[in-house]
Structures are given as C-alpha cells and as structure tokens.
Structure 1
Amino acid sequence: MKKTSLLIVCIILGCTIYAAAQPSKAIIPLGGNAWVKGNALLTDTGVTSWKSAKDIISIYFRADAAQELMLALRLRVPMGKSRVSITIGKNVFIKQVANPVFDTITIGTVAVQPGYLKIDLKGLSKTGRTYADVTDLVVSGINPGNELTYVKTGSSFHFGRRGPSVHLRYDIPQEIKKDVKWFYNEITVPQKMDVTGSYFMADGFNGGYFGMQVNSATERRVLFSVWSPFNTDDPKSIPDSLRVKLLKKGATVHGGEFGDEGSGGQSYMNYPWMAGKTYAFLLKAEPDNLHNITTYTAWFKDIAAGKWLLIASFSRPQTNSYLNGLYSFVENFEPNNGDKVRMAYFTGQWLGDSAGKWHRITGATYTGDETARKNYRKDYSGGLTGGKLYLRNGGFFNDLTPLNQKFSLSAGSHQPAIDLKNLPQ
C-alpha cells in the first residue's frame, strides 16, 4: 500500500502513525571540550594560533552506546594549505585542507564503544603561518538512545572545562542537630592525585569552607574562608555591618577578603602538604546570642608532625547558630587541568557538642554540582572504597558513580584525642 493510501485509511479509522526516530547530529564546541598541549591558543570560540607541529589539540566527548559515528571538523586555513592528522583510538585520518573561510570538513566514520572518546589533532605540514582555526567537532549519525555527553554551547565553558565538582554531605545525629560546636575530619590525597588547581575541602558548613589546595607546581595552601551574609561578588560593596571580621590568625597565615563566588573573609597558610600523607581539620563555632554573631575558628594538623596550627578566627554577623550543613568536596579551579584526574579520601569524621562530648558521623550523601547534574561531564565518582569515603573527578574516566547515593559508615574510626582547651590561640 502506498504511503498516501495508508495515510487516508488511518485518517478514516483514527489510527496513529509513528515516524521512525532519525539519527541526529551534535556540534561539540572546542571552547568547552578541548585542551591544548603546546602553544596553540584555546578560547571560548575555539583554537587559533596553531603554528607548531608539536601542538596537540585533544577533544573529548562521551558516548552512551556502541555504534558507528561520522566525524567532521568546522575549520578554516587562513592562508595556504595544511596537512593535519586526526587520531581517534587506533584510527588515524590524514586530511589536506585549504579552505580560507569556515567550512565543515569530513574526517571519517569510526566505531565507538560506550565511554569517553579522545580525538587528537596534530599538524603535519603547512604553507601558511598556521595549520588551521578550529571551532567545532561535528558528530553525525547518532542513533536514538545513544546520548552524547559534552559541554553544550550556551553553558559556561569555564566551569565545563574545570570539570564536575563532587561532594559528601554528612548526616548529623538527631540528638545534636542544633548543638554541633566542633567538626573534625581527615583528608588523604593519593599519590599523583594532587593536580595543580585542586581544592580538597574537608570542613564545609553553611557559612564557609576549610581545606587544602594545590595552587601551583611550587605552592600549596591550607585555606579557610567565611562568606558574608550580604549577597555580592564584590567584597568592597559589603556594608560594614555585614562584613566578616578577622579576629585572629596564625603567625604565618595571610588574612584578607575574597570575591567572584560570593564574598567574605579569607585566610590561607602556605604549607607543603604532600600526597600520600594524612592531614586533620578542626572547625569550631561559637554563637553569640546577645550580638547576633557567630565566631568560626579553624585549626590544621599535619598528623605525622603531631601539632595543631591555628589558621584563623572570623566573626560572621547576622548569624546565631552552631555548625550545620556539613560537607566535603573535591573541585578543580584551573580549567586547563580539567583533563586530569584528582582524588581524595575522607576519614575519621566526628562532631563535638557544646559540652565537649564527641559523636561519630555515621553516613554521608554523595552529590555533584551543575556540571555533573546537567550531564555536561560524566567523569566523577564517589562513595565508599575499602571502608573509606572518597571523591574523584576530572580526567575523563569511565567508571561513573551516579549521584545522590547515601553511604553508611562503619564504627571503624576512633574518637579524636584533642585537648580542646589548649589548642593554639
């Protein structure tokens, strides 16, 4: 029966015609999904100044199902002609390109398996000054049900290239829900997981965060910050009545302000912490009912050295409560290192009440930020391994742990032995 006859019959009988799902296409912008080794320039609009044969441009996306995909690049060659190689797993395509205006250049068809794919671009020869300007990877023939994961146009390429942040949100025992004066936690970063741009945050709370960072190849910090209740990204705009005040700090600690992601008081100590070693973090909250402020104080301990160090003490206005909203996280704040894996173990979580009695944390919920929740990136995991809580992100690994899982802790850790009355002041 012809399609027109079938349509007439269906209209008369009231039946429904279902169109077969068609293969789709994805345009993957290099600005949010590529990394460069070498001197080529990568911006939100793509790759330019690609001059050296030593430059490698790596593009990543993730497929949910095995199939064949057709790949192409949107590019131009400003002058002359260029030969470039495109490597996808064991597949190597050599293309000669000479279009002076942007056009979509077919690469070829590849069979893919579920997981992340890496596409490497390298220059082989050129007659002009640069190999090409490249804006997008175009993926065609995507079967229905094979979702591709990548950072979409219209989202933040900055946060997409930083990668997903993951958190552990700790259960607070019901009997001390409003009486958590102390929060104790430990972090161990495994060898080779201490990537530049990483923040391993131990003691987060509704009001601030406290942990350790890798700021460069030569600088590492222990950082403690408290947000102002005034909502702004500009610390200079905070009224005096809503300003977080630094009350005291350790002798080698820098005190100041922060902005851009909320604003408030910030302190940090340069400290050569090392991967493979365990460090302790202790946070204290003292609410002042009369003046409607709460004072937060943070101490750090290199467990092997056996000595507590004062980081800082801040007063936060319009706040009158003990600690709540307790959590830890791992994030990357350096977009150029979003293609590298980082990981941390979190152990020994304990809470102290206002009477000095310790209570063990017995569970945590594993969550992610918007980059993870919106499926821009799926290289994140967390939960329990070997009885330890852990978080891992970045680097385009494939063993994804779905978000919003709850993990229970066994009674393995010992109550911290801390002389609370004699901590350094």
Structure 2
Amino acid sequence: MHKLALLFLVFAVLGCTNKAKKFTPEELPIIILTKGNTWIEGMDSKQDRNLLDNGVKDWTPNEANAKTYFYTTEIREIKIGMLAKADKPTTLKVNFNGKSQSVKISNTELELVSIGSFNIENSGYHTLEITGDDNSSSIDISEIMIGGAATEGKVYFAKDDFYWGRRGPSVHLTYQVPEEASDVLYFYNEINVAEGEDVLGSYFMANGFAEGYFGMQVNGADERRILFSVWSPFKTDNPKDIPEDQQIKMLKKGEGVYTGEFGNEGSGGQSYRKYMWKTGTSYRFLLKAEPAGNNNTDYTAYFFAPEIGEWELIASFRRPKTDTYVKRPHSFLENFHTETGNQTRKGLYSNQWVYDTKGNWHEMTTAKFTADATARKESRMDYAGGAEGTSFFMQNCGFFTGWTTIDSMIEREPLGVAPKIDFSLLP
C-alpha cells in the first residue's frame, strides 16, 4: 500500500475511534426520567417543582449544571444516551465518573442523542453531569437512557412517586426499652449535627412517640425551628375535618412558641419555636406523656440549649381518646425539601434514656433501624444508620454509596450516667 494511502487510513481509523458511536433505542433499554432523578444546581423550591413536573425543560446550560444519579451493581461497560432537543445547534460537555465527552445536539424535536460508552470500575452511585457554555440555547432533556453490560445487574433509580424520590429516603431508629422498665413517663435524648450536615430541609427528630414527634429543623438560611407535634386520633390529612371531641387541645406553651394545626401527613396540634441552633453542639430533648383521666393523655415537650443553660417549655398538648404513657420511643431523619434531596445530611443521636413511673432511669443502647417506602421500594439507596461509640447515627440523601440493611438491630456503647433533671423545676 502507498505510504500516503496508509497514513490516510490510520487517520480515518483514529477519527472513528474518537467519534461517539450512535446508539439505537434497543441498545439503551433502561429509561431514567430526569423529572425524578436529575438536579440542577442552584434551583429554589419553585424551580425544582417545575423540574419535578416537566423534567429538564427550557434549560440554559451555562447557568447551572444538570446532574443525574443512578446506582449500578455491575462494574462493566455502560452505554449512555439521552432523549433531548435544542432550539439551535449546541455542544454540551458530559462528564461521567470523571471522564468527559462532547455531545452535539442539532435536532429541534425530542430524539435519541448518543453520549458514549464508559467503563464502570466500582459498583454504587454514579453521576452523569451535563454542562455547556451557550447562554442563548434552550435545552430539553426528558430521559437519560442507558444500556450495556453494566446494566445487566441491578440498577437503582426513582421510577415513580417522584416527589418522594426527590425528597429522598427517611430513616428511623426505634429504641428498645429495657424489660425491667415499668410505664415510661419521660423520654430523654440528645442530638448533635456536625458542621456541613445541617442541610436545608432537614428534620432531625429526637423524641418520637406513638402519637407524635419532637425535634429540630433547618427551615431556611436564617431560620431553624424546634418542632413538637401531636397527631389527632381522628385520621385525616385535613385538620378542619376533625370533630371537636377528637381535636388536640393546647394546655400551655413556652415563650415565643407558635401553636396551631398541621395537615397533609395526618393532622393534629403543632408547636414550634424559632431557634438558630448551632452545629457541633449537643441539644437535649425531654418528652413527658401521662394519662390525664377521662381517656385523655397530656404530652409535654422540653428543650435544653447549652448556650441558654436551662430547660425551656415548648408546649403541652392534651390528646383525647388516649390513655397511655410514652410508647415506641424513636428518632428519625428526613428531608422535606425536594431541591436538597441530592445533598447528604447526618445526625448523631446520643444518650437515650427513659424514666419510669417507679422513679427509675433506664438507658436504651439498642435500636432497630428502619426506612420509609422510598427506600423499601428501592427508589433511593442513599440511607444509613449505625453506632459511633456512645452515639447512634443516621444519614440520608446525597447519593452516597453503602446502605444499611433495613430492619437491622444496632447497638451503641452505654454511657452509664443517667440525666440529672429535677422534674419539680421544669417550667
């Protein structure tokens, strides 16, 4: 062969090697909808709602990066494409697990746009990041499409219930009350959130019980709350439907505490105090539940901030058609903002004790770890719980790899020193 012809052939082969292969839909059988699995950086709740409803639509790529998350158990080749369009010819940069590929979109109607083949070296969550520098183009991406050997194993992503999928999985610890304890009058717990783990939309719930919950939230950049709620025995998501004889009655509340009703996830009485709690600080929570006669039970929540140095009343509610002490002491961690479902948060839950009606403290060092339907249906696998010394921990969201088996039992080291509380001095 002539040298010039041979050189031309080498260049042609090299060019074909660098050019992204065009995939067929049959090669990319797994459809990942962007409305449930893609986040665009910097979006507020309204914009994220549009993403939830429509997927990536009318997106200007130079304004923010679009990141799609999914989990594979296999570590072989993966083929990736997208169902996309642009209002004018546009070049996007696609990064997958640290490797980049330029992708041109010239079609103005939704159609398959091939991205490329990549090697997956580790099982777990992967991020497909799409960026661009054209501030005048408008992009729609309704689906990420994947195939190849790496998709022959399990592939996890949100397939339905996208609102909950975007919020991420909620996780719980149900503490095991020692058998020698009699009726539980008080439930004590502490929470410490490390710097950087206080993500917007987090509810670090400390003292859960069969009829309600009590803990601390991150509600905004300049707003945090100590929240205490008790469900009505009447099952409804609309508090206005509750008959008068089944309504939660507010008995008293602390200074600066708001009280009212809540709905949507059951209904009942709610109270909260705006308080800018700090990271790296252990906050104390004390819940009392005591029968009040006539088939009523009173629930009272107290909060102790070390920077204040004394127990403060949040609120006390009376629940009708209830005759009980503290049942099912537990904690949970949830995210209530869809736009932050791609950010990890973690809380340390420490020093769990119950005080019974015979005047004895009992430490709780064993807990059952559970998760919600979003985790159980395998829409999201970024959830974990465990023990770190004398503390339990819970972690969720952010697409980290390594989940904890649901319904597993966890044991922390005992502290052995009961809380010192003079109940007669509580407000």
Within the alignment, does 1:385 sit opposite 2:391 as a pair?
Answer: no
Within-5 A mapping of 1:79-98: 79-98=87-106
- Cα distance, 1:144 vs. partner? 7.0
Runs of 4+ in 1 over 6 A off after TM superposition: none
Aligned counterparts of 2:88 and 2:96: Cα–Cα separation in 1: 26
Which of 303, 306, 309 lines up with 1:303 in the alignment? 306
- Cα distance, 1:285 vs. partner? 0.6
Counterpart of 1:121 in structure 2 is 130
The count of corresponding residues between Structure 1 and Structure 2 is: 396
Within the alignment, does 1:160 sit opposite 2:165 as a pair?
Answer: yes
Within-5 A mapping of 1:253-264: 253-264=257-268
Within-5 A mapping of 1:201-212: 201-212=205-216
Aligned counterparts of 1:143 and 1:342: Cα–Cα separation in 2: 29
Counterpart of 2:94 in structure 1: which amino acid?
I
Which of 236, 241, 264 lines up with 1:237 in the alignment? 241
Secondary structure of the structure 2 residue equivalent to 1:378: coil
Within-5 A mapping of 1:190-205: 190-205=194-209
Counterpart of 1:233 in structure 2: which amino acid?
D
Within-5 A mapping of 1:228-377: 228-289=232-293, 291-377=294-380
Counterpart of 1:165 in structure 2: which amino acid?
S
- Cα distance, 1:143 vs. partner? 5.0
Aligned counterparts of 2:27 and 2:123: Cα–Cα separation in 1: 17
Aligned counterparts of 1:148 and 1:221: Cα–Cα separation in 2: 38
The worse-fitting range, judged by mean Cα deviation, of 168-177 and 324-333 is 168-177
Work out whether residues 68 and 129 of structure 2, in 8 Å CA contact, stay in contact via their aligned partners in 1. Answer: yes
Work out whether residues 172 and 331 of structure 2, in 8 Å CA contact, stay in contact via their aligned partners in 1. Answer: yes
Work out whether residues 348 and 413 of structure 1, in 8 Å CA contact, stay in contact via their aligned partners in 2. Answer: no
Aligned counterparts of 1:85 and 1:255: Cα–Cα separation in 2: 50
TM-score of the superposed pair, with normalisation by structure 2: 0.89
The alignment-based identity, stated in percent, is 41
Work out whether residues 203 and 215 of structure 2, in 8 Å CA contact, stay in contact via their aligned partners in 1. Answer: yes
Structure 2 unaligned residues grouped into runs of 5+: 1-25
Aligned counterparts of 2:256 and 2:38: Cα–Cα separation in 1: 39
Aligned counterparts of 2:28 and 2:127: Cα–Cα separation in 1: 20
- Cα distance, 1:38 vs. partner? 4.6
Within the alignment, does 1:37 sit opposite 2:41 as a pair?
Answer: yes
Counterpart of 1:109 in structure 2 is 117
Counterpart of 2:146 in structure 1 is 139
Which of 176, 180, 190 lines up with 2:181 in the alignment? 176
- Cα distance, 1:182 vs. partner? 0.5
- Cα distance, 1:94 vs. partner? 1.3
After superposition, the CA RMSD in angstroms is 1.8
Secondary structure of the structure 2 residue equivalent to 1:312: strand
- Cα distance, 1:49 vs. partner? 2.2
TM-score of the superposed pair, with normalisation by structure 1: 0.89
Work out whether residues 52 and 162 of structure 2, in 8 Å CA contact, stay in contact via their aligned partners in 1. Answer: no
Counterpart of 1:131 in structure 2: which amino acid?
S
Higher helix share: 2
Inter-CA distance 375–194: structure 2 relative to 1 (3 Å threshold): same
